[in-house]
Structure 1
Amino acid sequence: MKHPLPAYPSHLCVLRLSALGDVCNLVPTVRALQRQWPDTRITWIVGKGEYSLLAGLSGVEFIVFDKKTGLAGMRAIWRTLKDTRFDVLLHMQQSIRASILSLGLKADVRLGYDSARAKDHQTWFTNRQLAPHPRAHVLESFMDFARALGVEDTELDWNIPIPDDAELEAQSLISGRDALVMSPCANPRLRNFRNWTPEGYAAVIDHAHDAHGLTTFLTGGGSDQEQEMVNAIAHHCRVAQPVSVLGKTSLKGVLALIRQARVVIAPDSGPVHMANALNTPVIGLFATTNPDRAAPYCWQDYVINRYEAAARTYLKKPEQAPWGTRVRHPEAMKLIEADAVNAMLDRLLQDTETHKRPQ
């Protein structure tokens, strides 16, 4: 017998640890829950890096899990919450790590994905599942949790706080220039292959400077791979040298930089979703992941989409590929042409000359 869903929950737990883009896509669901039940406590168990992005989110109590701490970190969370019972656990992370973590949490209802969307045997760890939603965007999949609880007002709202010192940090970097923020590298996970070419990035930097007077700021972490990419991009630029802020800003500083930018260009990674959350015009570069599932939600019309071409070229049976299949081939992103990105940049800047988000 299923435990009934509460008409007015007193305490909800959101379990979503990673990643940066995903937690940005989840915030509108949290805001929808808050509008429905303004007095309901919301506890969000989140990853360490993701917390640094979301810190200060109004009405949310965060419990931070550092995946490097493993089982010891889980036990610490269990001890912290040993006297807490949630009305509903929103199990939004499809990983064995998160499911094991969920075992030590007390909850009447454990709501997870339906069998078609669930991965890593998540249905073993939940007692209620979402209604099916084939071919859903990631943001819509998160919002399905609110819908399952009876929320009807699903208007998109983020309001991710940026502290004053981060705004000042970004202002000092931009120094009054019209900024293109470019984040050239996605998370360097095994066989990720989401990064475009340095030659392509350089061609866009030159065009943005010549045609629109934009100064490009290259953002990212401090890894060797990212530094090599930035050096290669600078080498291929003909007329405009980008400003590297690699590893020089906090995540809140990157948020502020994106909010103050005229436009953002990046592959499928956190910054395109950060730009989407801040209403900054953004061009997503997609070939290895399906933008119908993972594009910056409010800017899908401005995505460079070569996913279907990549699937036809590099997947053995693309017509049978499950929803969300990634094209894990190092050549896939080379299907994106610099001329196509430049043309999209021209169009986006024209469309947003007097306002940002398309109406």
Structure 2
Amino acid sequence: MKHPLPAHPERICVLRLSALGDVCNLVPTVRALQRQWPQARITWIIGKGEHSLLAGLSGVEFIVYDKGSGLAGMRELWRRLSDTRFDVLLHMQQSLRASILSLGLKAKVRIGYDKARAKDWQHWFTRYHLASHPQAHVLESFMDFARRLGVDPTITSQRPEWGVPIPDEAYDEALRMTGEEPYLLISPCANPRLRNFRNWSAEGYAAVIDHAWSQYGLKAVLTGGSSTKEREMGARISALVPPEATIDTIGQVSLKTLLALIERARVAIAPDSGPVHMANALDTPTIGLYATTNPDRAGPFLWRHMAVNRYPEAVRTYLHKEVDEIPWGQRVRHPDAMSLIHAEDVIERLDTLLSESADET
């Protein structure tokens, strides 16, 4: 039996496990649901690292699923929710693992992506699907779930709302690391996945840092995870600039402290990765570096106009096509694609943002 879409859902389940940037882009949809149905209980099934980023988000009950726990972890989650029946399940994770996980959840209505956007056979696991939305930004794709439920379109069309909480101790730690002086934040590395190729060069970042330091007296706070590749990148950047021009925090901060560092920054610079979307969520001026992915689809939503966009050139150079000739969201998986970005491109954006912020003060 196919249940009708609920007019006033009382229990809503959001299934989205990863990744950091994606869960940031999903928060405005949660806020839209909360504005439409303030009495509804929202349960979000989320990954462990992603939960550490969003922990404390108002009005949301998080259920953490450790993606490394396999079937045993799924069974434990199913047991935990065995007495819970949701009015609607928003299946927002396009992976076979998440679809299998969804089978053990009790929900009257299951909504997933339309066939054009679905991956890993996700549409086989849901009864309702999104309306077609070609060339949607990731944030807008998430918002389409709210629209499918009939959320007031004036709510989904207004400026996105986040309200990601940052604890006092995170601000204290950020201040201890940086002091009171203003700074530029740079997160130089994207997730080190196979054939990712989203990272720019140490030399490029160093040129930007030199400019920020010599022209504005701004230090650069380097951030990132604890992988060897990220630590090596930080060391290479620091070796190319005056020692007083950088503060290297790579591998030293929690995600909440990273949020505090980003919020206090004058400008954040990063490739297509979690930190650009974290900065976007905090309304910190953001320069995204894009060549392997399309910023119109995956750029920092409020700051897409400030992205350094070499994606069309990368498509022409390495795929030998134009952007409108390839599938929406296709990546350019070539190790040289990010070399199409020049330091002058980033410096021009930086000068623009710093001059705008100076005009506002």
- Same fold at TM > 0.5: yes
Which moved further from structure 2: 229-238 or 83-92? 229-238
Per-residue deviation, residues 106-157 of structure 1 (Å, max 9, x unmatched)? 1111100001011111000000000000000000000000111111212311
Match of 2:56 in 1: 56
Measured after TM superposition, the shift of residue 77 of structure 1 is 0.6
- Name the CA distance, whole Å, in 1 between partners of 2:280 and 2:355: 18
Contact 2:231-2:251 within 8 A present in 1 as well: no
The residue type equivalent to 1:7 in the other structure is: A
Contact 2:15-2:92 within 8 A present in 1 as well: yes
The residue type equivalent to 2:354 in the other structure is: L
The alignment's TM-score, normalised by the length of structure 1, stands at 0.97
- Computed over aligned residues only, the root mean square deviation of the Cα atoms, in angstroms, reads 1.3
Match of 1:196 in 2: 200
% identical aligned pairs: 66
SS of 1:216's partner is strand
Match of 1:68 in 2: 68
For residue 350 of structure 1, the aligned residue among 341, 355, 358 is: 355
- Name the CA distance, whole Å, in 2 between partners of 1:47 and 1:107: 20
Trace 1:152-301 onto structure 2 (pairs within 5 A): 152=152, 153-154=155-156, 155=158, 156-237=160-241, 241-301=245-305
Match of 2:101 in 1: 101
Contact 1:205-1:240 within 8 A present in 2 as well: no
The residue type equivalent to 1:114 in the other structure is: D
Paired residues, number: 356
Contact 1:181-1:216 within 8 A present in 2 as well: yes
Structure 2 spans left out of the alignment, 5+ residues: none
Q: Tell me whether 1:340 sits opposite 2:307 in the alignment.
A: no
For residue 328 of structure 2, the aligned residue among 319, 323, 347 is: 323
The residue type equivalent to 1:144 in the other structure is: D
Match of 2:133 in 1: 133
- Name the CA distance, whole Å, in 1 between partners of 2:189 and 2:272: 9
Contact 2:112-2:129 within 8 A present in 1 as well: yes
Q: Tell me whether 1:304 sits opposite 2:314 in the alignment.
A: no
Measured after TM superposition, the shift of residue 248 of structure 1 is 1.1
The residue type equivalent to 1:33 in the other structure is: L
Measured after TM superposition, the shift of residue 238 of structure 1 is 5.3
Contact 1:206-1:239 within 8 A present in 2 as well: no
Contact 2:12-2:88 within 8 A present in 1 as well: yes
- Name the CA distance, whole Å, in 1 between partners of 2:30 and 2:243: 45
- Name the CA distance, whole Å, in 2 between partners of 1:215 and 1:27: 31
Contact 1:13-1:86 within 8 A present in 2 as well: yes
- Name the CA distance, whole Å, in 2 between partners of 1:322 and 1:264: 30
The residue type equivalent to 1:198 in the other structure is: A
Match of 1:120 in 2: 120
Match of 1:146 in 2: 146
Measured after TM superposition, the shift of residue 236 of structure 1 is 2.0
Measured after TM superposition, the shift of residue 237 of structure 1 is 2.0
Measured after TM superposition, the shift of residue 172 of structure 1 is 1.0
Structure 1 spans left out of the alignment, 5+ residues: none
The alignment's TM-score, normalised by the length of structure 2, stands at 0.96
Which moved further from structure 2: 291-300 or 170-179? 170-179
The residue type equivalent to 2:166 in the other structure is: I
